[in-house]
Structure 1
Amino acid sequence: MQTTDHKQQPAPGALPPPAAGPGKLPGIRHLIAVGSGKGGVGKSTVSVNLALALAQRGARVGLVDADILGPSIPGMLGIPTGEPPEMTADSRMIPAQRHGLKVVSMGMLTGDDQPAVLRGPMVGKYLKMFVAGVQWGELDYLILDLPPGTGDTQLTLAQSMPLSGVVIVTTPQAVSLKIARRGLRMFEKVQVPILGIVENMRTFTCPHCGETTDIFRHGGGEQMSQELGVPFLGALPLDAEVVTCGDEGCPIVVDQPKSASARVYGAIAGALVAQLDTADTGLKPFVWNWDSNEGAPAWREAAVLPSGARNIPVGLLRRDPRTLSLLWQDGHRDDLDVRDLRLACRCALCVEEMSGRPLLDPRTVRADVSPRRIASIGNYAIQFDWSDGHNSGIYAFSDLRDLGERAALQGAEDV
């Protein structure tokens, strides 16, 4: 393995716009998750009204109720439940339409009082169907309203779908902020860009006397965004009309477009669009045949930044049949021997999960082992299909960068 530093100052305007269409999902420009660490913070209400605010800006918007086990979006939009959607001739779902949004939810398949009793793998199957098995048409934004927490749904999204980023919703009190921080860190770990934090239920204004009260404290979300270095998209008031409008199936952005809450949602939508216009999430999704080089990802020297991230690749290259080259956003380059990559696999077949004890005997790995196929996993890793039949290892970009640095240190010691 060899490592080199390759710094190049990008020319003004050299960075391309965010990937669209075929680079992500066909016809969908941006896939945006809305998440939270805990329930009860108004995440679904934010998802619905944010989607509507984007639509009011002239965008084509879809909304997926990704809380498969606890769907709430149909009620907020006045969509009948228990009425399965129509299907196209090629067995794709046709989404419901309300207030200019295209919508899919598990609640459309089950009644209000019928639980969806599903194990984790089935939850993931439905989620993938709701995103990739729907006839969305052309969309600028597909909003995914996630369940609370950091479980199967979040991991399925991060590993199998090209997210443009995530919006984190929290309330100002300490317990909500602490759990929201965990959720944010989970998305950072799998390298899903954090598009911003929304603080919900900040201030209550009495409709009778006009006095304002910070029932759930004040400014915690903004402070968290400053501490973590992520954008703060805006703070929403605690407004009884938001609840009333949602219960009646006509969200406040539609029912009362001139209200204070609706204006804040409009400002948040504008801030989100600005973040998406400047964000660069690295490489587009790819499936790469190593021998033929078919499907090879881009090598984008123009995406190198003086203050770029150390674990975001902007280029992968088959330098020769035995060497995988990676160009990182900070300009550093690693040339990794493919057999060394095979030996570095950290899957449960190669490393004992609890103790970390190596299970793979290097003597059993042929000297000529090589990749047959390399595929991207979400925004944070790649997976190899090896010529010796092994294919269960996922290589996080952060681990690949560390591997390159260890190889450089070893090379220096050998000299």
Structure 2
Amino acid sequence: MQTTGPEKLPGIRHIIAVGSGKGGVGKSTVSVNLAFALQRMGYRIGLLDADVLGPSIPGMLGLTTDQPPGFDAGEMITPAERYGLKTISMGMLSGDDKPAILRGPMVSKFLKMFVGSVHWGQLDYLILDLPPGTGDTQLTLAQSVPLSGAIIVTTPQDVSLKIARRGLRMFQTVHTPILGIVENMSTFTCPHCGKGTDIFHGGGGERMSRELGIPFLGTIPLDPDIVTCGDQGQPLVLEKPNSFAAQVYGAIAAELDGRLQAQSTSALKQFTWTWETNAGAPAWAESAGRPSGSQTTAIGFRQRDARTLSVLWEDGQRQDFDVRDLRLNCRCALCRDEMSGLPLLDPKSVRADITPRTIVSVGNYAISIAWNDGHSTGIDTFKHLRALGASRAAGVAEDV
């Protein structure tokens, strides 16, 4: 069974982030069981434990942590394999008791290594189990990995829902599609009397999905067997496939797969574009534009001439940018004060013949330009580009 659409990375069709702004909501448990539910549908699955500082995937899969992964002939890391699932985790490198004491840049380095330096082979889905929060890990993945989308996990109580909203908004900010919300640890059914109890309240995840207009993927019960199976390294979906909870995971996997099959294929592939030679130029699919599309999702870039960058938006609009104007409007910390927003860059210091050397896609939401004056620290988000183009067009109209 094969998924449709282009590969996100060589050999990988879909990359799914499982996240939440809050810890303790069961992201790892959802990631593991969702991975095996998709596997039971006939797909080839990989699981990346992106919680570098607090890895829990090895324990849930029953993997030993005292044997670091090996390398293949091409010096790529060989992922561990358990029940047919390919896995990589910091827990395999650090052991059970040794903490990973790392600053942000090193966390980002390990994440990029786990994605790009692991011999994943052919996968239909690579599931990323994220740590809590909206910090370095989430931003690194959003900028360096072409995510197909994110799943937000929450528990029903208000405190979890409020923080999960922040995690959801973070993904929306970096143009990662929200594939749906999962409510975990919902109703507990007493095995003796059969009475259901909403220990953490109930229906909060579904209510949030309605309020935000986000798909609701399903409600996972508070089932002791989920915990027991995870602690024993034998995930519930494999150990008790006929249980109610396992069937819920199966339904969530089917819903997720259906949404991805129907997902728009107009999104750009990742690119590194050399401006002078036009090598590596991204796609330009003018026919794919539609009035109902997003105003801040770029579906095409091209060089109209040596000094003009054209951007095609999903709503069918096209904007042209003078490249020197883009350089003057750089929003990095060297060119604009981060607190006040006031410009630091002196326009007189930017040469008249400034041009890009390379333009590189940044996740699903921005581009980064390396200029021929040596400047390369700026990131132009699609939202910023659209607003800049609109302000320039308004200025022209006023002049006329």
Residue-by-residue CA offset, 1:126-161 (whole Å, 9 max, x unaligned): 111111111111000010100011111101101111
1:177-216 counterparts in 2 under 5 A?
177-216=161-200
Following superposition of structure 1 onto structure 2, how do residues 112-131 of structure 1 map, counting pairs within 5 Å? 112-131=96-115
Q: Which residue of 1 aligns with 2:361?
A: 376
1:275 is aligned to 259
* Residue pair 1:83, 1:110 contacting (<8 A) in 2 also: no
Q: 1:249 aligns with which of 225, 233, 238?
A: 233
What corresponds to 1:8 in structure 2? none
What TM-score does the superposition give when structure 2 sets the normalisation length? Answer: 0.97
Residue 301 of structure 1: how far off its partner (Å): 1.9
State the 1:174 CA deviation. 0.3
Which amino acid counterpart does residue 43 of structure 2 have in structure 1? A
1:296 aligns with 2:281: yes
Give the Cα separation in 1 of the matches to 2:343 and 2:180: 40
Q: What is the CA distance between 1:368 and its match in structure 2?
A: 1.5
- Aligned letter for 2:223? D
**Inter-partner Cα distance in structure 1 for 2:377 and 2:261:** 35
CA distance, structure 1, for counterparts of residue 253 and residue 304 of structure 2 = 43
Which of 393, 407, 412 is matched with 2:378 structurally? 393
User: What are the Cα deviations for residues 275-333 of structure 1, in whole angstroms up to 9, with x where unaligned?
Assistant: 11122372110000111111111011232123100000111110111111111101111
SS in structure 1 at match of 2:31? helix
Three-state SS of the structure 2 residue aligned to 1:336 is: strand
2:177 & 2:254 partners in 1: Cα distance?
18
Counterpart-to-counterpart distance in 2, 1:321 and 1:407: 19
User: Which residue number corresponds to residue 30 of structure 2?
Assistant: 46
Question: Which aligned pairs between 1:8-407 and structure 2 lie closer than 5 A?
Answer: 18-20=5-7, 24-280=8-264, 282-407=267-392
Stretches of structure 1 lacking an aligned partner (at least 5 in a row): 1-15
Query: 2:312 is paired with a residue of what secondary structure?
Result: strand
- With CA pairs under 8 Å and 6+ residues apart, which has the higher RCO, 1 or 2? 1
Q: Deviations over 1:197-250 (max 9, x none)?
A: 111011110000000011111111111111111111111111011001111110
Aligned mates of 1:386, 1:67 — CA distance in 2: 35
1:18 is displaced (CA, Å) by: 3.2
Conserved 8 A contact 1:93-1:134: yes
Q: Residue 109 of structure 1 aligns to a residue in which SS?
A: helix
Q: CA deviation at 1:90?
A: 2.3
Task: Give the distance between the partners of 2:91 and 2:145, measured in 1 at CA.
Answer: 22
Residues 159-179 of structure 1, C-alpha deviations (whole Å, 9 max, x = no match):
111111111100010000000
- When structure 1 is superposed on structure 2, of 277-286 and 228-237 the one drifting more is 277-286
In 2, distance between residues paired with 1:63 and 1:161? 15
User: How much has 1:34 moved relative to structure 2?
Assistant: 0.5
Instruction: Among all aligned residue pairs of Structure 1 and Structure 2, give the percentage whose two residues are the same amino acid.
Output: 66
- Residue 406 of structure 1 deviates from its aligned partner by 0.2
Query: How many angstroms apart in 2 are the aligned matches of 1:345 and 1:276?
Result: 35
Q: Separation in 1 of the partners of 2:93 and 2:47?
A: 16
Q: Counterpart of 2:139 in 1: which secondary structure? A: helix
Determine the C-alpha separation between the residues in 1 that align with 2:77 and 2:300. Answer: 36
SS at match of 2:94: coil
User: Shift of residue 17 of structure 1?
Assistant: 5.1
1:69 Cα deviation (Å)? 0.8
Distance 2:301 2:201 in 1: 47
SS in 2 for 1:233: strand
- Which runs of 5 or more structure 2 residues have no equivalent in the other structure? none
CA distance in structure 2 between the partners assigned to 1:209 and 1:316 by the alignment: 62
What is the RMSD of the two structures over their aligned residues, measured on CA atoms?
1.2
Distance in 1 of aligned mates of 2:107 and 2:66: 18
